[in-house]
Structure 1
Amino acid sequence: MSLTVIGVRHHSPACARLVGSTITALRPAFVLIEGPADMNARIGELLLGHELPVAVFTSYLDEQRRHGSWAPFCAYSPEWEALRAGRECGAELRFIDLPAWHEAFADRDNRYADAELRYAEAVQRLCTEFGVDNSDALWDHVVEMGPAEQVGQRLETYFDLIRGDSAAGTSDTAREAYMARWIRAAQVAAGDRPVVAVVGGFHRPALLRLASPAGSPATAPSASSASSPSSPATAPSAPSGSSPSSPASPIGGAAGDPGVGDPGEPGWPEVPEPPTGATAGSYLVPYSFRRLDAFGGYQSGMPSPEYYQQLWESGAEQAARYLITAVAARLRRRGQPVSTADLIAARAGAEALARLRGHDCPSRVDVLDGLASALINEALDVPLPWAVRGTVTAGQHPAVVEMTAALSGDRVGRLHPDTPLPPLVHAATAELERYGLDRAGEHTTDLTDPYGRTVSRVLHRLRVLEIPGFRRDSGPATGIDPVLREQWTVQQHPHRLAALIEAGGYGPTLESAAATRIAQRIDDAGGDLGAIADALFDAALCGVTDLGSDVPDRLERGIAVAGDLAVLGRVLAVTLALWRHDRLLGTAGSAALGVVVAAAARRILWLAEGWHAPGAPADRERIAAVVAVRDAVLHAAGLGVDRTAAVEISGRIAADRAAPPELRGAFYGLGRSLLDEDDPAGLFPEPSEAVRGAFTGGAAGDWLAGLFGVAREHVLAPGGILRLLDDLVGGLGADDFLIALPALRQAFEYFPPRERETIAEELLARRGLGGSGRDLLRMSVAPQTVAAGLALDEAVEERLARAGLITVGRTDD
């Protein structure tokens, strides 16, 4: 019996051909594939007859971690070809890698993100040796465009150079040990028949060593002696009668599923189970070439998947012709001029580059370079995307962007109708049909109507779960907006099913899934109060009242590290309004909102006491934060905001000359608002002491802005401080008054017109003058002109006094 380990690059047509031809030639007892072992009982789902590309999506959720992972398959994926060829020859099919939810995959969002990326130095040496720009061009040169009969030998050499004897990281070491146990078990179960393993090339050298009995060195015969006509590496099998060290575990599937072993087979490694309290599941999802494209950000994808599809179906020469035709057609559709002469020049350039680079026909990069040379005449600001490894960067020439998009292709997979789907898909589909949201069109929801509110919640849950095709055009932006109607646009979207399947990891219903997603956003927000507030408002819009028992602690932790008074004030004001009043959205009295109210009020008080900003102008948002604290103490006392502590802190800040003037005024107003009729405990400074201290250094206007913003009622109340303020403002020198005048005008804007009229009437009465306060407020001259007139009067008086014509304070006619 023999073991054949084929090291592949995921999504490589050349590797897929090698896999198919090797399995067909050897007709092995087992075909082992790098893939999630927890899907072994469901391999039949993969073989239903889907339109590729598709992917196995795995989700994992516990109190500490939420993880999603994809294992994509297209027609030219070696793993998919292994499934197809293995089924045709009657082999038993096994996925042999750890489940994608396993902690070994915690740092990657797709299974095929091999750790070979950590060995970029070896790749760079090879790129230098062959005179190519990056690993993709290197792969095309060495493998895809190389002689077909040498593919196996070239792969062996390539991956030996990349990995060699180097140790992998902890996660890859665990995966390789697990895969090796499957390989050894398969060798025992196969008896004298061959076993073929298809794994990422990075893992191949290690698995050859680990699959050998007692750790003895594995052998890798030359091309002439390999058991496969394409010369994949082979290793001796385990001796007959040996067994893996792990206990037996049943690996089964539905009766009649091709390639699935019988339940209860002994000798196979255990498939790990999720930890207690965690949920994990795997489902097939439709995938797309856009998501598969390395230019689009897929970590271990091949760039330009549509090109490689053509290479797989028709060969390199036809793929090069397709590439030029597809690019020209796309550019013309976009209004870019592409003449026949341009195409002739591009083709001639590509063929010349192919000869220069030693290719029998133009490769992908040859054609792209030829197109760029023929179609782009100006200098480029950034490197061409196929000259580097990664996504298409900003600043690319428009023709280059269209070229990469044309080669990406627009293929979208489709699942077979019999494919099992997670509960969320069925639940969401039923709700969409129930409320007429399964058809494209415009929808209006009335939040005051129970039916409209229910429809709104369904749409918001879909939005929160990022299901494409549902867009809100208008509606309330905060919990205190007076907007009571929403406008939505519903569109059919090709990725809706995939998004619903992927969102199924959050929960079985739209409500539970949205609640889990919002709780995760709160956890991810940390101290970002804007993100926390957005998440809480989304919870209100979704009708989610239970975010989990741990969410209050998360909210409190997030607020405890916030450091912006203005943002804290906005969050507190909106959250308090939702907690107090919003019975429409069902948030009144919410426990989660109550936690935010109490924590934000305490945090503002703590931050403000040490807030020193000398010379800074008055900040209305900081004043608003103090107003929010006032309302929280007055209206949410039961949530744990200590009134006495708030008064004590207010007194200290009001007396702190290093604090910004508007904060001193605001906290003076806060303390007076929270005090009873008197202050027997002496928690607060006397009015005359605090107010007189503010009227120094030209800061009177800012101090009054803080006071009026928080406690204007204290100014107007009988026995208030209006008379004291009048004396102090009247006592300002001309220079100080002119300096303070803009801030004074802004401060009095906190009073509505009726209250400003009341102040004017009291000031007239205090001076023994008749007239109407309303008339006094109607100035026919701009305030700037009045200020300039005062300044002129002051200057004239000063000159007259210097000339001895008048005495300061008295004018002689």
Structure 2
Amino acid sequence: MNGRRGDAGEPLLLGVRHHGPGSARAVRAVLEQARPGAVLIEGPPEADALIPLAAEEDMRPPVALLAHAVDEPGRSAFWPLAEFSPEWVAIRWALEHKVPARFIDLPAAHTLARADDDGAEPDGPRIDPLGLLAETAGYDDAERWWEDAVEHRGAGKEDAVAPFTALEEAMTVLREEYGSGGHERDLLREAHMRLRIREARRESEDGVAVVCGAWHVPALRRGTTVAADRALLKGLPKVKTDLTWVPWTHRRLSRRSGYGAGIDSPGWYGHLFAAPDRPVERWLTKVAGLLRAEDRIVSPAHVIEAVRLAETLAALRGRPLPGLGETTDAVRAVMCEGSDVPLALVHDRLVVGDVLGEVPAAAPAVPLQRDLARTQRRLRLRPEAGERELELDLRKETDAERGRLLHRLRLLGIGWGEPATARVGTGTFRETWRLRWDPELSVRVAEAGVWGTTVPAAATAKAESDAIGARGLAEVTGLAEHCLLAGLPDALPTVMRILADRAALDTDVGHLAQALPALVRSLRYGDVRGTDTAALAEVAAGLAARIFVGLPPACAALDADAAEEMRGHVDAVHGAVALLGDAPAHGHGRLRARWQSVLRTLSARDTVPGVIRGRSVRLLLDDGELTRDAAARLMGLVLSPGTPPADAAAWIEGFVGGSSGGGLLLVHDERLLGLVDAWLTGVPAEAFTDVLPLLRRTFSEYETGVRRTLGELVRRGPGAHGGTAAGAPGFDPGLDTARADAVLPVVRLLLGPDGDDDEGVRGAHTGVTG
């Protein structure tokens, strides 16, 4: 009899949908009715020893079996289980009734060994069995068909096997039509399942129940010989593997992983499984609570109306009960007033959700994982599935330790936290992180376990290895910065030795200029983190000195692209020197003074591209080493008719281009704006098209308000094109009475009743604008 264990002792085959709450309820009902002597479950048999952990109090789904190759931890696979997964229900039932439970799928040792075997992949697209059944039943949505056929179907004990019998009959037809469905690996898995089922039947007098994907049931029912199944499995490659339980999330259940299961709405399915009765009413009440927590006005009347609408929609659509589609439409219309914005929040928080499971401390783990877990508990830094921001004040010891831990994990490739821009303050004692724990990070921890048994030891070994294998100087300086941030003093000697060697051998000024900013940033951490940065300061000063010597010749005869890249290096070095302050540079004077001398050299050499010369003049002007009169004189020389228009345009790009605040400089210095305006209007027509792209790039990066002000100044002739304005910079010397009168109502409102006479207001306004 299909689906049932007959008199001949046939196995009870329960074909399910992975993560299907309807299947999970039906599995429990059948197991309670049949009381088998053993429960066999689709999953890697190496995990049999881990099954008892499912009964621990601190084991809370969603969880997953993680298998990884011992010698290559990055090669891994997951088998996720939720509270509403039929496999999890079967495991729990077996443990509660002290019935043996075993996994019977193809061993993970073979699965991981075949991960890179192209021959194991399907020759064509794999069919979607549920999609085909839904299409046959007249549905255009497999999820909706599954809800109507299984999730909304109530089954009593007398017909508990009926859903499995119907699914087996349907899958049998599909297997006869499509064979393996385009996935040859299923034939191997099913051969191994049949062998394990035979073993269990010999050992159990009370029969066995098998919980597996419905797609496999016809193949497990089909009579084959032991020799044929063993022949299929003979010679399969395998690798040594380790398995454990790891936390999983509802959000990750929506991805295909492990045995290929994936669902779109794990939060909704979890609700259907957990709700004892009236699931629609309970769901809409939960939605109302979420929206109220987000300050939206949702009353009990909204819930009642939404329930009525969902039931009406279900009746109109011919569905036995409202499903996710009907409840979503009701929420949109009644609680969200037709807006999809709050509806997106409902989908993210409830339909999918960020539930994070837990596994017991007794679960196998690499030493690094155990050390990380102890550190997380000590620092009260609990892993969470949802993204959250963490503000750290590094002057506090606990926050400083948290920051070091996150930096160490990043160095190990474990991206639990990502640095973010602080919302307040810019001091080096503040750090802002975005934290989000993804289940895949468990694999990264296993991979990093080869570097050490504790987080500090592993990060130190990884930093030393990366420094030895680094290809460029910038990589080594970046590692030095990471070592300081992560608090790895034992790694610094190796990194600094390699840094000094690379810096001494590298003659490329561009490489040196890329390396200096990271070193200088690292020097700033000493005050707050208590790190000795003396050796770093020595290397940084030596690096700066070599840049000062090599930069002028390196800037000669560059093409446009190389000149733009070198302009970026000049900016980076300028910022680094500003942070270094007045540190001595090997007895060759003060760094700042020497750098300003380099900038003067760059600004005066005709062989240096215009973009670098213009940038050098601007940096000297900003530092107060060049007066505005001198800057205007240099600009006037560059913009004279004897300079090729393309070179003049490049000079302007370097002087006022990009995000350097050049727009405001032109707004508040009419002499410079007048020079640019006069030059631009005098560019010959045949050269204008050549300089236009560069000028467009220069001025398009200004803020909208700056561009508007510049347009107004040019329209009315700022400072008589080069003359000195009699009024404030950027404004005509005379008062525009028409524009002044336009603001009188606002000024009157600001001054209040005591200043409510026109003469007083006009006088006050004149004082403001004069």
TM-score, normalised to structure 2's length?
Answer: 0.56
Matches within 5 A, 1:554-573: 571-573=514-516
Counterpart selection for 2:283 from 323, 332, 340:
323
Amino acid at match of 1:351: E
Q: CA deviation at 1:78?
A: 0.7
Whether the aligned pair in 1 keeps the contact of 2:67 and 2:78 (CA below 8 Å) is no
Distance 1:333 1:486 in 2: 30
Which of 245, 252, 257 pairs up with 1:283?
A: 245
Q: Which residue of 2 aligns with 1:201?
A: 214
In structure 2, distance between residues paired with 1:433 and 1:792: 69
CA contact (8 A) 2:63 2:359 kept: no
User: In structure 2, what is the equivalent of residue 538 of structure 1?
Assistant: 482
Quote how far apart the aligned CAs of 1:94 are: 0.9
Q: Residue in 1 aligned with 2:19?
A: 11
Give, as a single letter, the amino acid of the residue that structure 2 aligns with 1:782: R
Residue 41 of structure 2 aligns to a residue in which SS? Answer: strand
Counterpart for residue 142 of structure 1: 149
| Among candidates 357, 377, 401, match of residue 345 of structure 2 | 401
The alignment status of 1:181 with 2:195, answered yes or no, reads yes
Trace 1:448-597 onto structure 2 (pairs within 5 A).
457-462=404-409, 465-467=414-416, 473=422, 485-487=429-431, 504-505=445-446, 506-507=448-449, 508-512=453-457, 514=459, 537-543=481-487, 571-574=514-517
Measured at CA, do residues 292 and 167 of structure 1 come closer, stay the same or move farther in structure 2, by a change above 3 Å?
closer
1:278-308 per-position Cα deviation (integer Å, ceiling 9, x unaligned): xx442343x4445546799x98344444543
Distance apart, 1:79 and its partner CA: 0.7
1:244 CA drift (Å) = 11
1:372 is aligned to 2:332? yes
CA distance in 2, matches of 1:625, 1:615: 15
Q: How does 1:593-672 map to 2 (within 5 A)?
A: 613=560, 620-621=567-568
Q: Distance in 1 between matches of 2:476 and 2:172?
A: 49
User: Structure 1 residues 188 and 374, CA, compared in 2 at 3 Å: closer, same or farther?
Assistant: same
Corresponding residue for residue 58 of structure 1: 66
Pair 1:83-2:77 in alignment: no
Match of 1:736 in 2: 643
Shift of 1:407: 4.2
For 1:299-310, list aligned pairs within 5 A.
300-310=261-271
Aligned to 1:263: none
Q: 1:441 to 1:85 in 2, by over 3 A?
A: closer
The verdict on how the C-alpha distance between 1:374 and 1:116 changes in structure 2, with shifts beyond 3 A counting, is farther
CA deviation vs aligned residue, 1:181-239 (integer Å, no higher than 9, x gap): 3233323434x5422221222333344448655659xxxxxxxxxxxxxxxxxxxxxxx
CA distance in 2, matches of 1:787, 1:586: 49
Asked if structure 1 preserves the Cα contact closer than 8 Å seen for 2:53 and 2:59, the reply is: no
The 3 A distance-change label for structure 1 pair 50 and 99 is farther
Alignment pair present for 1:312 and 2:279:
no
Provide the C-alpha distance between the structure 1 equivalents of 2:556 and 2:169, rounded to a whole number of angstroms: 68
Could you tell me how far 1:620 is from its partner in structure 2? 0.7
Q: Return closer, same or farther for 1:180/1:570 CA change in 2, 3 Å cut-off.
A: farther
CA distance in 2: counterparts of 1:435 and 1:704, whole angstroms: 52
Percent identity over paired residues: 23
1:701 aligns with: 610
Q: How many aligned positions are there?
A: 580
Distance in 2 of aligned mates of 1:589 and 1:353: 73
TM-score, normalization: structure 1? 0.54
SS of 2:309's equivalent in the other structure is helix
Question: CA separation in 2, counterparts of 1:792 and 1:355?
Answer: 74
Q: Counterparts of 1:793 and 1:12 in 2: how far apart (Å)?
A: 76
Paired residues of 2:113 and 2:238 also in contact (CA < 8 A): no
Cα distance, 1:579–1:162 mapped onto 2, change above 3 Å: farther
Counterpart CA distance in 2 for 1:141 and 1:340 is: 28
**Contact 1:61-1:67 within 8 A present in 2 as well:** yes
Report the Cα offset of residue 612 of structure 1: 5.6
The one-letter code sitting in structure 1 at the alignment partner of 2:142 is S
- Select which of 41, 49, 65 maps to 1:41: 49
Structure 2 partner of 1:645: none
Tell me which residue corresponds to 1:219.
Answer: none
Q: 1:434 to 1:137 in 2, by over 3 A?
A: closer
- The one-letter code matched in structure 2 to 1:346 is A
| Shift in alpha-carbon separation, 1:270–1:80, aligned structure 2, 3 A | farther
The question of whether the paired residues in 2 share the 8 Å contact of 1:181 and 1:244 is answered with no
CA drift of 1:140 comes to 0.7
Report deviation, 1:45: 1.3
- Work out the CA distance in 1 between the residues paired with 2:11 and 2:682: 104
Consecutive unaligned residues in structure 2, runs of 5 or more = 1-8, 384-388, 500-507, 576-597, 619-635, 657-668, 685-770
Tell me, what secondary structure is at the counterpart of 1:2?
A: coil
Is structure 2 residue 338 aligned with structure 1 residue 361?
no
Question: What is the distance in 1 between the residues matched to 2:135 and 2:169?
Answer: 17
Residue 544 of structure 1 deviates from its aligned partner by: 5.4
CA distance in structure 1 between the partners assigned to 2:371 and 2:70 by the alignment: 22
Q: CA deviation at 1:134?
A: 2.4
CA distance in 1, matches of 2:380, 2:403: 12
Q: Output the CA distance in 1 between the equivalents of 2:392 and 2:571.
A: 37
Q: Is the 8 A contact 1:530 1:567 kept in 2?
A: no
- Paired position in structure 2 for 1:682: none
Does the CA contact (< 8 Å) of 2:65 and 2:79 recur in 1?
yes
User: Could you say if the C-alpha distance between residues 31 and 115 of structure 1 is closer, same or farther in structure 2, counting changes exceeding 3 Å?
Assistant: farther
Describe the shift of the 1:453–1:166 C-alpha distance in structure 2 as closer, same or farther (beyond 3 A).
closer
Q: In the TM superposition, what is the alpha-carbon distance from 1:708 to its structure 2 partner?
A: 10
Tell me the CA shift for residue 151 of structure 1: 1.0
Q: Secondary structure at the match of 1:71?
A: strand
Instruction: Kindly provide the amino acid, as one letter, of the partner of residue 207 in structure 2.
Output: P
In structure 1, stretches of 5+ residues that fail to align are 109-113, 217-241, 248-268, 275-279, 381-395, 478-482, 556-564, 629-668, 674-690, 710-728, 750-779, 796-813
Q: Which amino acid aligns with 1:336?
A: R
Instruction: Answer 1 or 2: which has greater helix percent.
Output: 2
3-state SS in 2 of match to 1:735: coil
Distance 2:419 2:638 in 1: 63
Greater Cα offset, 786-795 or 122-131: 786-795
Letter of the 1:7 partner, please give it.
G
Change (3 A) 1:734 1:521: same
Q: 1:56 and 1:133 mapped to 2: Cα distance?
A: 31
Encode CA deviations 1:659-682: one digit per residue, 9 max, x unaligned. Answer: xxxxxxxxxx9xx99xxxxxxxxx
C-alpha RMSD over aligned residues: 6.5
Cα separation, partners in 2 of 1:67 and 1:578, compared to 1, 3 Å:
farther
Aligned to 1:334: 294
